[in-house]
Amino acid sequence: MFMFQRPLGWLLEGLGVRFCAFVSAFVLALTLTLASALPAGGARAEELHAIAMHGKPAMPADFTHMPYVNPDAPKGGRLTWGILGTFDSLNPFIVRGLAVQQMRNYVVESLLARGNDEPFTLYGLLARSVETDDERSFVTFHIDPRARFSDGEPLRAEDVLFSWQLLRDHGRPNHRQYYAKVARADAPDPLTVRFDLTGANDRELPLILGLMPILPKHAVDVAAFEETTLTGPVGSGPYRVTAVKPGANVTLTRNPDYWGRDLPINRGLYNFDEIRLDYFREANGQFEAFKRGLYDFRIEQEPLRWHDGYDFPAARSGEVIRDTITPGLPQPSEFLVFNTRRPIFADIRVRQALTLLFDFELINRNYFFSLYARVPGYFAGSDLSSYGRPADARERELLKPFAAQIPADIMDGGYRLPVTDGSGRDRTTLRAALKLLSEAGYDLDGTVLRNRATKAPFTFEILVTTRDQERIALAFQRDLKRAGIEPSVRSVDPVQFDQRRLAYEFDMIQNRWDQSLSPGNEQYFYWGSAAADNPGTRNYMGAKDPAVDAMIAALLEAREHTAFVSAVRALDRALISGFYTIPLFNVSEQWIVRWNRIERPRTTALSGYLPETWWSKGQPQAHQAK
């Protein structure tokens, strides 16, 4: 492909006028033809094996496997998961119900698949290649002609268009939000789908569409799609649902005819012939089942149990193995979340005061064996965190329209969470908290904090669902009593907890938002204003902040990594300034416990543990096509 850049006159020297006119008409027609063939924006595009949000993919087009797998992992055996909670649906793509999340990837695939050693890079899966322009004003996916659904039907462009329309109109709020940005979608041929993204101004959107779950047009009842179901979906993935015991367990069995088993992106993955998902209603019962060998691995999140809970015979003999993994992602952080939709938490001074009253030093020493740290932000332990860093020039420019609401110490990196003396009776933080509460309209009446105008006592409910959450809530309850606040702690089962959390029917809950090194559109889902009143999002605090919305838009528009980092740090500062949560702790390690019948690769992905890379010990060595 070429374009005419030099003046037309040089072509026409010495030619007659008629011939000049002929050539001019020819050149004009050719130029228009070429221009119409170019993608939107006039930029050239080429088919690529992968696409990265920033920079270039790490793996070349001829890669044979990912670096975090054992490419010769043996196939066979069974992996049993122990999952806390329950389920009433096998459709994870709708709001209604508590769905089995493993339907995604194991049963239903997407056009592209994540490279788990990179911040946000996608490699070909259902789509053998992808193309877009520099503006990312369009994206085209070229479907692998070998792709098949588990019922043997070929996967075609019409299935991709069907999935896009179905999830845009009937899917989860994040799907509806993302896919509605597409201006137009069409299929130039049965194996090609092109999405016109004109006007979206969202550089992440081609990748978001690449991760879209692809459902079969011939096997989905659109009218019933938003209803919960215990019928296994027809997907194109490596497993099929073969058994369901409602609320108790689900069995996935490898599809022997899986179309993508020899793809480089899949080599070393999905090594078990069967995956059993067993659900437990209560955490202690779940742990006791693991000790008896009823399931194969657990992700330990309780420091007390990690510290001294694995002193049972199988652990002492080496049958149970404990692995400590340090991933490269932002550290998972737990928070107590204020529901700012509640009038009692609408005043930021109230939220600041309650943050002062949380005695982390005492709790970390007594409950967590001082294994945890605490950061006032949402990207802890990564280059994206604003904590301890002064804002750079780019951040200051982004936040300039909102300067009045960003405290100076948050801008210059000097802000620190309050530190108590660890006694549970720190008077300095108590005095500071009572001062803020007085400014917000609350006074101590004897030992009870009351609203100055209504005389109503300051009280609220902390909703919990696990013993660990309850223990933290009760400790916080003790801290708050010193200020005349009498919160109640209500423990509910996981089903009710999830239902109330999704409907925002709570005053305060404990929650964590897992972050990647490439935050994007999901940030709107976490704390965008449009998500605040939309049930089913993760904006549990009800944040409605123009500064937050603007910073999310800025990180999506960033083309260079440095500009992207500045935008994310600016978002972090805006969120910290809102005091929407009380940071509890952040975890720098993943604690994995497994029976020695399960093995894993020596190399760990940037994202941490990946059960899909594990295999069953004692199976014959695999020899796949290289």
Residue type, 32: L
How do residues 294-346 score in pLDDT, each as one tens digit? 999 999 988 889 988 999 999 999 999 999 999 988 998 999 999 999 999 99
How do residues 61-92 score in pLDDT, each as one tens digit? 999 999 999 999 999 999 999 999 999 999 99
pLDDT, average across residues 153-157: 98
The DSSP string of 395-457 is HHHHHGGGGGGS-HHHHTT--------SSS--HHHHHHHHHHHHHTTEEEETTEEEETTT--B
How many CA atoms within 13 Å lie on the side-chain side of 217?
12
Task: For residues 404 and 577, give the distance between their C-alpha atoms in angstroms, rounded to a whole number.
Answer: 11
pLDDT score for 620: 65
The pLDDT > 90 percentage for the chain reads: 80
Question: For tokens 């930021």, what's the residue?
Answer: 348
Fold of 333-586: Dipeptide-binding Protein; domain 3 (3.10.105)
pLDDT score for 97: 92
pLDDT, average across residues 547-571: 94
pLDDT confidence tier of residue 44, bands split at 50, 70 and 90: low
pLDDT, average across residues 571-575: 98
Is 4 a residue whose pLDDT tops 60?
no
The CA-CA-CA angle for residues 128, 265, 616, to 5°, reads 145
Most confident of 171-175, 329-333, 540-544: 540-544
pLDDT, average across residues 39-50: 67
How do residues 594-610 score in pLDDT, each as one tens digit? 999 999 999 999 999 99
pLDDT confidence tier of residue 473, bands split at 50, 70 and 90: very high
8 Å CB contact between 345 and 351: yes
pLDDT score for 582: 97
How do residues 113-127 score in pLDDT, each as one tens digit? 999 999 999 999 999
What's the burial of 332, exposed, middle or buried (CB within 10 Å: 0-12/13-18/19+)?
buried
Is 621 a residue whose pLDDT tops 70?
no
pLDDT score for 155: 98
pLDDT, average across residues 26-31: 38
The CA-CA-CA angle for residues 91, 327, 77, to 5°, reads 55
Backbone angles phi, psi at 476, to 5 degrees: -65, -40
How do residues 334-388 score in pLDDT, each as one tens digit? 999 999 999 999 999 999 999 999 999 999 998 888 878 898 899 998 999 999 9
Closest CA to 476 of 593, 337, 612: 337
pLDDT, average across residues 491-506: 93
pLDDT, average across residues 457-473: 95
Is 25 a residue whose pLDDT tops 70?
no
How do residues 263-287 score in pLDDT, each as one tens digit? 999 999 999 999 999 999 988 999 9
pLDDT score for 241: 98
8 Å CB contact between 268 and 238: no
How do residues 211-269 score in pLDDT, each as one tens digit? 999 999 999 999 999 999 999 999 999 999 999 999 999 999 999 999 999 999 999 99
Where in 159-238 does DSSP place strands (E)? 184-189, 192-196
8 Å CB contact between 139 and 197: yes
pLDDT, average across residues 45-56: 91
- Domain coordinates in residue numbering, the chain: 1-37, 282-326+591-618, 333-586
Task: For residues 530 and 152, give the distance between their C-alpha atoms in angstroms, rounded to a whole number.
Answer: 41
What's the burial of 566, exposed, middle or buried (CB within 10 Å: 0-12/13-18/19+)?
buried
Between 193 and 1, name the one with better pLDDT.
193
pLDDT confidence tier of residue 503, bands split at 50, 70 and 90: very high
Residue 406 structure tokens: 């960003």
pLDDT score for 55: 87
Residue 309 structure tokens: 């809970």
- What is the overall mean pLDDT for the chain? 90
The CA-CA-CA angle for residues 598, 601, 602, to 5°, reads 120
Backbone angles phi, psi at 547, to 5 degrees: -65, -45
Task: For residues 508 and 504, give the distance between their C-alpha atoms in angstroms, rounded to a whole number.
Answer: 10
Is 22 a residue whose pLDDT tops 70?
no
